[in-house]
Amino acid sequence: MNSYRHPGLVFTDHRFTVPLDHDAPDGEKIEIFGREAVASANVGQDLPWLVYLEGGPGFGARRFIGTEAWLGRAVREFRVLLLDQRGTGLSTPANRQTLPVRGGPREQADYLAHFRSDSIVRDCEVIRPQLTGGAPWTVLGQSFGGFCAVQYLSSAPEGLEAVLITGGLPSLDAHADDVYRAAYPRIERKVAAHYARYPQDVARARAVAGYLAEHRPESGGHLLTPEGFQSLGIVLGGSNGSHQLHYLLENAFVEGAHGAELSDTFQEAMRTATSFAGHPLYALMHEAIYGRGAQPTDWSAERVRAEFPQFDAAAALAGDGPLIFTGESIHPWHFEVDPALRPLRETAELLAARTDWPVLYDADRLAANEVPVAAAVYHDDMYVDTGHALRTAASIRGLRTWVTSEFEHDGLRAGGPQVLDRLLGLVRGESDR
């Protein structure tokens, strides 16, 4: 194990071996990486553990520099494990370079079927006794990490001392179609709020989309399209997202030898923002996290989008209305324009058609829950439907909610010490609300 110091912290790297398929423990193994963080003043002390489950799916745990965001508050009393969930970060990778080792698309899809929250939770239960000696630990789940935490409560509550969830209470029974039918109106509200803040961006966005429709430029092998441009709206769910989008748009055009053209600065920024090279599992598994039973997800976001014609870029450009950005949704065209995803198109099709997804949540067990649970629910969260979240909160015995409009979906990062402190107070009965 490697240990190293940051201001106020000591990090230690851990690597764990777990079964690919926990139902076949003697079969193939994969590696899970976790980074332990402890306050410099607490090195050597016997502290309780807190495991952090990042959002996604498909993102490794955040790489902290010192005690930034919520981590400084956590290490005051915990030894923290920043877990790279399977397939992400420094864990055994799953991407266009490594998946072909599995074989063809069918073998790749079968492999990836083991990369949902149920497998992540079982990884945690292999890792936990190695670190805690068998004692339960506290889980902090952000966004998809909260989905994992609810699955943890469903399948292995004996491993949990307490659960803290930020922007991540999933519906217990919704199909992916239900998720996206609820999502598109929320996205439209966020876009309307952005245009109200920056009305000049209405014309800018139409100009960019029109240019992309006519010229379809490439940047680093990435095809830039109106639909890809619309997907930049994903940032509108974050605390600074509207400002980020505005600053991107204000640099969109330069005057070249033949008139106005998209600037290299904008094209590179768009390519970087829309590329899945660093997190391909997000695209591959995004709808699979909602898979349940025999009903396939079948490119749900794409199908449901047809029910909301105001999101059609070509129709917007043909008329005089604003271009409506999209949000957290994955579409077949992602696997055509992005070189990091292009080789995985058939694999994605097989995942979308899959009809044997296990049910992830046990409603009866959640109704009888005895683990202290607190959840921050962000009012009009763009990524996780507030109505779905509150129904789930009411279904988990003893769960205490903090519903707030002070933060967006990234509240744990933007207001980390405050958010974490509030949730710890709720699970400990130190707060009345």
Question: Would you name the residues annotated as active-site residues?
Answer: 143, 356, 409
141 beta partners:
53, 165
Q: Burial of 41 by CB count in 10 Å (0-12 exposed, 13-18 middle, 19+ buried)?
A: exposed
CB 51 within 8 Å of CB 124: yes
Considering Cα of 53, then 57, then 60, then 64, what sign does the dihedral take?
A: negative
Considering Cα of 168, then 171, then 176, then 181, what sign does the dihedral take?
A: negative
CB 112 within 8 Å of CB 102: no
Total residue count of the chain as it appears in this document = 433
CB 55 within 8 Å of CB 145: yes
Considering Cα of 369, then 372, then 377, then 382, what sign does the dihedral take?
A: negative
Q: Is 154 helix (H, G, I), strand (E, B) or coil?
A: helix
Distance separating alpha carbons of residues 292 and 116, to the nearest angstrom: 11
Dig out the tokens for 295 from the structure.
Answer: 């009903």
Q: Is 132 helix (H, G, I), strand (E, B) or coil?
A: helix
Whose tokens are 């690919």? That residue is: 20
Distance separating alpha carbons of residues 206 and 212, to the nearest angstrom: 10
Cα 224-228-232 angle, rounded to 5 deg: 120
Distance separating alpha carbons of residues 422 and 166, to the nearest angstrom: 11
Q: Is 236 helix (H, G, I), strand (E, B) or coil?
A: helix
Q: Is 35 helix (H, G, I), strand (E, B) or coil?
A: strand
CB 177 within 8 Å of CB 300: yes
Q: Phi first, then psi: what are they for 12, rounded to 5°? A: -135, 130
